[in-house]
């Protein structure tokens, strides 16, 4: 298949998924008995089942979800799109719930704060609601709403990839983290993804709205214009 602009977004999303996927895979190998490479291992493995399920579900959610943003591929393989959706929603919900479990029941890291825990709870709730609304929208054949809510859910789920970049910028500029800076960099990543999702949704919506319909819609919203048009119509009929 010829590479085109249709694949630029999926490729970028796969790159964004690469960092948390690689880190998660390393963590799984450590849990299986390999030499420790990543920091904070003693703390996070206190809930090994939840951690393993979280890592696997996040990787599947990120990789499979990236291909949903390739329009040409999605149009050619509609059955695959439906099957992938049935995988994405459960994986996203499992990733969110296990992430909440790890937030609430693991001992906090030294640079974690109560504020960060609260932000994580809000993010998980937003992701769960987005995925559920996306699922219910497709059940009632509301395709625009389905698309919008799934984009929101996926964007929030990919926050870990963006956090790598926000954290790298902070470390390059200021060095080690404090509880406040860690909270700020992680919250900033989720905010960046949420804003990007809304931009994509509104950009696509504007493209699908016929330009000729926009002035008509604005005129119809003005009572004087609407009344004048009605009078002219009646006169023409007479």
Report angle CA 13, 123, 174 to the nearest 5 degrees.
Answer: 75
Please state, in angstroms and rounded to a whole number, the distance separating the CA atoms of residues 151 and 216.
Answer: 30
CA atoms within 13 Å, Cβ hemisphere of 89: 20
- pLDDT for the residue 111: 86
pLDDT in the model for residue 208 = 64
Please report the pLDDT score of residue 210 as a whole number.
55
pLDDT digit string (tens) for 189-220? 999 999 999 999 998 777 665 554 444 444 44
51 is written with which tokens?
């951690």
- Residue 150: the pLDDT is 96
Q: Could you tell me which of 58, 83, 76 has the C-alpha nearest to residue 153?
A: 58
Compute the distance between CA of residue 82 and CA of residue 158 in angstroms, rounded to an integer: 21
State the pLDDT at residue 5: 56
- Statement: the pTM of the whole predicted model exceeds 0.85: no
What is the separation of C-alpha 91 from the centre of its chain, rounded to a whole number of angstroms? Answer: 13
Backbone angles phi, psi at 209, to 5 degrees: -85, 120
What does the DSSP assignment read for 58-83? HHHHHHHHHGGG-HHHHHHTHHHHHH
Per-residue pLDDT of the chain (238 residues; tens, 9 = 90+): 445 557 788 888 999 999 889 999 999 999 998 888 888 888 888 899 999 999 999 999 999 999 888 877 777 888 888 899 999 999 999 999 999 999 999 988 888 999 999 999 999 999 999 999 999 999 999 999 999 999 999 999 999 999 999 999 999 999 889 999 999 999 999 999 999 999 999 987 776 655 544 444 444 445 444 444 433 433 443 4
């Amino acid at each position: 298949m010829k590479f085109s602009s249709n694949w630029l977004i999926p490729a970028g999303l796969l790159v964004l998924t690469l960092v948390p996927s690689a880190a998660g895979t390393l963590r799984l190998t450590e849990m299986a008995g390999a030499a420790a490479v990543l920091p904070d291992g003693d703390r996070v493995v206190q809930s090994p089942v939840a951690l393993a399920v979280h890592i696997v579900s996040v990787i599947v959610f990120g990789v499979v979800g990236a291909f949903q943003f390739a329009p040409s591929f999605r149009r050619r393989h509609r059955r695959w799109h439906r099957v992938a959706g049935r995988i994405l929603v459960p994986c996203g919900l499992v990733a969110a719930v296990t992430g909440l479990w790890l937030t609430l029941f693991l001992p906090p890291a030294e640079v974690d704060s109560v504020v960060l825990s609260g932000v994580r709870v809000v993010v998980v709730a937003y992701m769960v609601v987005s995925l559920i609304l996306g699922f219910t929208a497709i059940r009632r054949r509301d395709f625009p709403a389905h698309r919008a809510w799934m984009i929101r859910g996926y964007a929030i789920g990919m926050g870990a990839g963006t956090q790598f970049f926000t954290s790298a910028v902070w470390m390059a500029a200021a060095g080690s983290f404090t509880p406040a800076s860690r909270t700020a960099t992680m919250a900033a990543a989720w905010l960046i993804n949420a804003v990007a999702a809304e931009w994509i949704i509104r950009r696509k919506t504007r493209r699908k709205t016929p330009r000729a319909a926009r002035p008509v819609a604005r005129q119809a919203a003005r009572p004087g214009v609407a009344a004048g048009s009605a009078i002219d119509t009646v006169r023409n009929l007479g």
